[in-house]
Chains A and B, each alone.
Chain A
Amino acid sequence: MSEDDFFKKASVVKLDTLSDVNDIGKPWRYEEDGMTVTRTSPWSPPGCHPVGCGLKLYVDAEGRLERVEGDENNPVTQGRLCPRCIALKDYIYNPARLLHPMKRDPKDRGNADAWETITWDEAFDIIKAEYDRITAQYGRESIVVFAGTGREGGTFFPFGSMCFGTPNFCYTQSGYACYTPRLAAIAYIGGTTYPEWDYAGALPGRWDDPRYDLTEVLLIWGKAPLESSPDGFFGHAVIDAMRRGTRLIVIDPRVTWLSSRADIFLQLRAGTDTALGMAMLDIIISEDLYDHDFVSYWCYGFDELAERCSTMPPEKAATICDVPVEDIYAAARMYAAGNPAAIQWGLSADQKTNGMQHAQVIVSLMAITGNLDAPGGQLLPNSSAGHNEVGFGFDKGVGDDLLAKMVGLDQYPAYCMVILNAQADLMLKALETGEPYPIKMGFYAGNNLMSCTSMEPERWHDAIVKSLEFCIGFDTFMNPSIEASCDIFLPLKTVAERDGTVFTHYAPCTVTAGFMHEAITVGDCKTDYELCYELGRHLRPELWDKEFNFRSAKEFMEALRLGKREEGRYFDKVAENVVCQIPIEYYKYEKGLMREDGTPGFATPTGRIELWSTAFHGFGEDPLPYYEEPQFGPADPELMEEYPLILTTGARTTAFFHSEHRQVPRLRALNPDPITEINPVTAQKYGIADGQWVRLSSPFGECVQKARVSEIVDEKTVHAQHAWWFPEEEGSEPNLYGNFRSNINNLLPNFHFGKLGFGAPNKCFVCKIEPIEESYDTDMTEVWDKFGKLV
């Protein structure tokens, strides 16, 4: 296929709510009413998963962004937008945004008033001096690049591999409990990457495309797609399908808007999903509801799976999961009868210690019902797909000798090699103890780990501040992690100020490729790829100028994202399309498109979907799914006496992307305070009123949040929001923007991951709750005063 066919401008289907007066068919840039309108398909910042929703940026004659609207030309979002991009201008011109590099004496870490504005040249010189000093003494492996989630910078691997040349790119969430466990499970079981629900995103006719079959049954499992647009999936595509007749099954410990519309809602005890999945497999197999052809041609280990799942009859699972047994039967039968049927599987599979087994039962369900790579089922990527930046430049930038030193590689190769990341928990240990070697320099790449992605955050805070001799933050705003631990701050461009690409679902299983266009200039900021290129050349000139040899930052981005080196000309050409639908094929495993050798089947040792996983077996893990009780839960009655409630955390809100957006008043007003949801019966038992502040505690720590008394959770469960800090408050230590006051991660542990190094019990823990007299209600007038007047 020619490249022009690959990056072909997307077709668009007009929503019937839109006017006939619209901008469908307009070029990537045009004039309207004295303004220049730039169409763009953003990734970040502000943080978001790579959906690439269509945006129109209206810029006045003075070059100032006047407003943002949804672009009707995007085939998936079709002019719709969530509040975060509608309020994008309030983020870009926010008075708290930082627009110039700054330095601070390391002895003033934690002092919000000690920063001094500097030039980029001075910043690069300081970084170079520290880089040379530290690497000479401790080696490049002493540098850690803290990865984040969502933002382009958060997964910008070349910061580690090419710029700093360290093997220790590290997402610091215990057990990498976000998306990667699911990716690892499908990689090890099916030899492919994330099987997203096929929502016709890549098809020119969308839902009415002749190649598409509408999903009859959509099973949403531990996921809140409407609020989070998870992993690059436009959440409201679920609504599009429902309005066409798709029926829902929802499995979740919380009531969600989608569960309130579902035919079957299994409100299970948090963390018991694997038992439920095994029971559903048992029903589908024993009632002969599976796809015999798919199983006999394309699956390996079916009999063993059947035997294993027979140890989890539905009656047993019903007791474990605390759901009616007839609902398990009904859900299994409804899913199996769906033709096609699909599963949207969420973070709950990552956020439990035995999450790999949860992922394993979900992939098994998709496989034995014949829904893998079927229209309206689960779309699979072809053999060439994958995280496009993982491994890019790694050979020359890091090298085999240094790769072997990656923290955790010896103990957890299944983790470290699938994502080329240092194992998170062992990185904490290395920071705390200097073992296996000292960690001395840090870089935050789109990450605010002390507020969001680290468990026991004070422990991470103390380890980082103590261990690192030099640390760099690169962001749009100040945040608690940078305030506490950095010596250099570098300012980051937002989506409106930059060029770039966005591939849905982080490149695996992409349905659209989008392109960002620079529409405005603000301050003196850089993109991730510009900083990586410029700082890389400064730190390692021999490598960048002789080996990598890119002619510009744009060519570096072009090579990384598009596999071309044409000084940005190829990027400019395809970027005019703004958004492209990637050509897809169904049933690729029949056509030899899933394996690099071109033979039919899957890229596993047996060429089949391995229901009995040879890879798991090789890593010393049980090759078949098994259920394990949450380590912190009813299996420990003594613990439950002191901490009697099940704690689940981190459900997403529309107002924020994780720890971002707290300083945008129009968004903050939607969710001013950190919320804990508690059932009315439980609230009454503990004397908690709706809107009252409560103290939550676990064996690992405590925090305070504001109670929302609601049937959204059952009597045994509480749910607490994550990633809270308060940018309107004092930033200096010890307050640190109130970072540790309402931080639910205070209650959650490190070092409770599964056998392969993956998973953490963030969504299935325990706590106790008590009302407190104090109120910490946010003063929205203060938030408006501080952040409401745009600059």
Chain B
Amino acid sequence: MTKGILINYDYCTGCHSCEVACKKTLGLPEGEFGIKLTEVGPYEYTDKPAPDHWEWTWLPVITKACDLCMGRTTKGKMPSCVQHCQAWCMYYGDVEDLAKKMDGKTRWALLATRE
């Protein structure tokens, strides 16, 4: 069953906990990432009222270095990024199960890596 990470990115605050937790777990050197934040904004929309008037979106991208924390997940633990996410907006599991959470009420992104 393909595993993935689901992100409720309406709530990703760009706190970098996932990035640093990943680097520490994988022991990555300078400039390498297993997961890295991307940022859009902040900018204003002319035609959208609050609370959607401003765009400021963070979304982590999972890189080729990510092994979904095999060492942790085989023991039943969560990947280090999920464990430490301060906004608890990251979920790990079977992609089919994760996809069912995508309910249209908030913004979701489902990321799956190569097996």
Name A's B-contacting residues (CB within 8 A).
Answer: 15-22, 67-70, 78-83, 86-87, 89, 226-227, 235-236, 239-240, 242-243, 248, 255, 257, 259-265, 654-655, 665-667, 669-670, 710-712, 780-781, 784, 788
Closest 7 CB pairs of A and B: A21-B76, A260-B54, A83-B20, A260-B56, A236-B86, A17-B88, A239-B87
Closest residue of chain B to A785 (Cβ to Cβ) is: B30
Q: Are B55 and A260 in contact (CB under 8 A)?
A: yes
In this complex, the member of A80, A243, A260 whose beta carbon has the largest number of chain B beta carbons within 10 angstroms is A260
Contacts of A263 in B (CB 8 A): 50-51
Q: How far, in Å, is B24 (CB) from chain A's closest CB?
A: 6
Binary CB contact string for chain B from 12 to 33 against chain A (1 if under 8 A, 0 otherwise): 0111110111011100001000
Asked if B54 and A788 make an inter-chain contact with CB atoms under 8 angstroms apart, the answer reads no
Could you list which residues of chain B lie within 8 angstroms of chain A, going by C-beta atoms?
A: 10-11, 13-17, 19-21, 23-25, 30, 41-44, 50-51, 53-56, 75-78, 80, 82-92
Are A264 and B50 within 8 A (Cβ)?
Answer: yes
In whole Å, how far is B44's beta carbon from the nearest beta carbon of chain A?
Answer: 7
Q: List 16 A-B contacts (CB under 8 A).
A: A15-B88, A19-B77, A70-B84, A83-B16, A87-B24, A226-B15, A239-B11, A239-B86, A248-B51, A259-B54, A260-B55, A263-B50, A264-B50, A265-B53, A665-B30, A780-B30
**Cα(A366)–Cα(B75), bound, Å:** 49
* B88–A711 CB distance below 8 A: no
Partner of A81, one of B51, B55, B56, B84: B84
Determine chain A's interface SS by DSSP, over half rule: loop
**In the complex, what residues of A have CB within 8 A of residue B88's CB?**
15-17, 78, 80, 239-240
Contacts A257-B14, A670-B16; A17 near B86 (Cβ below 8 A): no
A22 to B25, CA, bound (A): 17
Whether B13 lies near A257 (C-beta < 8 A) is yes
Given the complex of chains A and B, what is the CA–CA distance between A242 and B8 in angstroms? Answer: 13
Question: Is there contact, CB below 8 Å, between B23 and A666?
Answer: yes
Q: Which residues from chain B contact A87 at a C-beta distance below 8 Å?
A: 20, 24
For the complex, give the distance between the alpha carbons of A467 and B13 in Å: 46
Task: Provide the residues of chain A in CB contact with B92, threshold 8 Å.
Answer: 17
A260-B86 contact in complex given A80-B17, A654-B15, C-beta closer than 8 Å: no
Is the Cβ of B83 less than 8 Å from the Cβ of A79?
yes
A81 near B86 with CB under 8 A, answer yes
In the assembled complex, which residues on chain A have CB atoms less than 8 Å from the CB atom of B24? 67-68, 86-87, 89, 666
Contacts of A255 in B (CB 8 A): 42, 54, 56
Q: Which residue of B lies closest to A88 (CB)?
A: B24
Chain A nearest CB from B71 CB (Å) reads 10
Contacting pair A86 B86 (CB below 8 A): no
- CA A284 to CA B80, docked complex, whole Å: 47
B19 touches A17 (CB 8 A): no
Residues of B within 8 A of A780 (CB): 30
Query: Is B17 touching A86 in the complex (CB atoms < 8 A)?
Result: yes
Contact A79/B11 with A86-B20, A262-B50, A654-B16 known, Cβ cut-off 8 Å: no
CB pair A257–B82 under 8 Å, yes or no, is no
Chain A residues near B14: list those with CB within 8 A.
257, 654
A17-B90, A20-B76, A81-B17 known; A69 and B83 CB under 8 Å?
yes
CB-based contact A86/B54 at 8 Å: no
Inter-subunit contact B42/A711 (CB<8 Å): yes
**How many angstroms from the CA of A115 to the CA of B60 in the assembled complex?**
45
Scoring A19, A20, A240 by chain B CB atoms within 10 A of each residue's CB, the highest score goes to A19
Task: Report the separation of the CA atoms of residues A69 and B85 in the bound assembly, to the nearest whole angstrom.
Answer: 12
B19 near A83: Cβ-Cβ < 8 Å: yes
Contacts of A86 in B (CB 8 A): 17, 20-21, 24, 84
B16 CB to closest chain A CB, in angstroms?
Answer: 5
Residue of A nearest to B11 (CB): A239
The reply to whether A80 and B13 form a contact with Cβ atoms under 8 Å apart is: no
Question: Nearest chain B CB to A268's CB is how many angstroms away?
Answer: 16
CA gap between A240 and B107 in the complex, in Å: 17
Pairwise interchain contact B54-A80, C-beta atoms closer than 8 A: no
Please give the distance in Å from A484's CB to the nearest CB on chain B: 31
Q: Which residue of B lies closest to A226 (CB)?
A: B13
- Complex: A78 Cα to B85 Cα, angstroms: 10
Q: Please, how many angstroms separate the alpha-carbon atoms of A83 and B82 in the complex? A: 13
Known contacts A21-B77, A710-B42; is-contact A257 B56 (Cβ 8 Å): yes
Bound-complex Cα distance A413 to B14 (A) = 43
Chain B residues with Cβ below 8 Å from A21 are 75-77
Contacts of A259 in B (CB 8 A): 54
In the assembled complex, how far is the CB of residue A64 from the closest CB belonging to chain B, in whole angstroms? 15
State the Cβ distance, A261 to closest chain B Cβ, in Å: 5
- Within 8 Å CB of A669, what residues of B? 30
Q: Which residues of A contact B16 (CB under 8 A)?
A: 83, 654-655, 670
The answer to whether A260 touches B42 (Cβ under 8 A) is yes
Known contacts A666-B20, A781-B30; A243 and B11 CB within 8 A of each other: yes
Residues of B within 8 A of A78 (CB): 88
Contacting residues, chain B, for A264 (C-beta < 8 A)? 50
Q: How far is the CA of A242 from the CA of B89 in the complex (A)?
A: 12
Q: Complex formed: what's the CA distance from A116 to B28 in Å?
A: 36
Complex Cα gap A83–B22 (Å): 10
Contacts of B84 in A (CB 8 A): 69-70, 79-81, 86
What 5 additional pairs, Cβ within 8 angstroms, besides A17-B88, A22-B77, A669-B30?
A83-B17, A87-B24, A263-B51, A264-B50, A665-B30
Question: Which of A67, A243, A667 is in CB contact (< 8 Å) with B20?
Answer: A667
> Shortest distance in angstroms between A624's beta carbon and chain B's nearest beta carbon?
33
- Are A239 and B13 in contact, with the CB atoms below 8 A? yes
A661 to chain B, nearest CB (A): 12
Q: In whole angstroms, how far apart are the Cα atoms of A239 and B88 in the complex? A: 9
Nearest-neighbour CB distance to chain A for B17, whole angstroms, equals: 6
Docked-complex contact A19 and B30, CB < 8 angstroms: no
Shortest distance between the CB of A85 and any CB in chain B (Å): 9
Chain A residue with minimal CB distance to B91?
A17
Contact flag A236-B83 (CB < 8 Å), given A86-B21, A264-B50, A666-B24: no
The residue on A at minimum CB distance from B53 is A265
Residue of B nearest to A327 (CB): B50
**Bound complex: CA of A669 vs CA of B21, how far in Å?**
14
Q: Would you call B30 and A260 a contact (CB within 8 A)?
A: no
Which of the listed residues A89, A264, A666, A780 has the most CB atoms from chain B within 10 Å of its own CB?
A666
Q: How far is the CB of B80 from chain A (nearest CB, A)?
A: 8
With a cutoff of 8 Å between Cβ atoms, the chain A residues found around residue B89 in the complex are 17, 239
Chain A residues closer than 8 Å to B11, beta-carbon distance: 239, 242-243
Q: Which residue of A lies closest to B6 (CB)?
A: A17
Tell which of A226, A257, A711 has the most Cβ of chain B within 10 Å: A257
Interchain CB contact (< 8 A) of B15 among A83, A261, A710:
A83
A257 to B57, CA, bound (A): 9
Give A78 to B87 CA distance when docked, in angstroms.
11
Measured in the bound complex, the distance between the Cα atoms of B80 and A272 in whole Å is: 43
Contacts A226-B15, A257-B13, A259-B54 given: A17-B23 contact, CB under 8 Å? Answer: no
Contacts of B51 in A (CB 8 A): 248, 261-263
Chain A residue at minimal CB-CB distance from B90: A17
Question: Chain A's nearest CB lies how many Å from the CB of B59?
Answer: 13
Docked complex Cα distance between A725 and B94 (Å): 46
- Flag if A236 contacts B77 (CB, 8 Å): no
> How far, in angstroms, from A236 to B55 measured CA to CA in the complex?
20
Q: Are A19 and B17 in contact (CB under 8 A)?
A: no
Residues of B within 8 A of A670 (CB): 16, 19-20
List of A residues within 8 angstroms of B85 by Cβ: 17, 80
Bound-complex Cα distance A240 to B82 (A): 16
**Which one of B20, B53, B78 lies within 8 Å of A18 (CB-CB)?**
B78
> What CA separation (Å) do A20 and B83 show in the bound complex?
12
